[in-house]
Chain A
């Protein structure tokens, strides 16, 4: 299974950006930046204010990736899929939501916040914003499998289910109630893959087992993919 890497976008503790306009990339410990609408969009995208932190994080990284792949602008809806992996999902939003349920036995529950307790809702936001009608879903695998969504995206392309797919990972910092997960890398990185294209940073492929390679270099995680792609730009 092979695909062409068309674009990369991210939001990490080191900053936010895209490969062709490299902002700070540092997937690792540290605090994620607060994401404001003007950091991402020039227009008055009013829905942005309704989004929870998890959705802002994911939507921002998808936006940067599509912009990097020159696929942000559209006239007609497109059959582009999105697969996002996460370990903690929107657990921070779950906690915020339920803290609003407790005081008055649910009478103060926020319907808007409840909608974002489904982690796939930010994929729906991206689908609306960019007219993406392909398959989209969230995946969670076991620990130590950071490139799960990348492999699934390659499968979708190989099976002919998509021509283009956006794949990535998205996680906020672990909430205090999940101290065991503290120290895992918060941030979001998304990549745009195409079954074929004359453009792009290089070729992503599987090695027959669970391994993934970029330009024949074995990848262990998203950081290596971004750094290798950035080096190919310079």
Chain B
């Protein structure tokens, strides 16, 4: 089901639009999603803007996606290790599944996620494409 309300996505514009994450002030580990506590035991984080460059750590192809993405199938989804260290899961576009490998260099791009139906808001965010 599409989310009719645009509010939840709007609250995440910082990380979805700008690829903004968190850096532990003690061990410098970086995270895309907010963590209450770093495995090193520290509770304090600073914000970090990721460069958008990274390498694929794992990937797969989706043939039967959720309603929001059904007109995009088949599409690739990957776990990506950003150069700053954080790991992120994202769609990888403008490529074929056969083109991808573990270690393929990718870069972040600003793309359309989905629309909340014909009358709803269009949701945007960060996806990745193979580096070219």
- A and B are interacting partners: no
Please give the residue numbers on chain A whose beta carbons come within 8 Å of chain B beta carbons, in ascending order. Answer: none
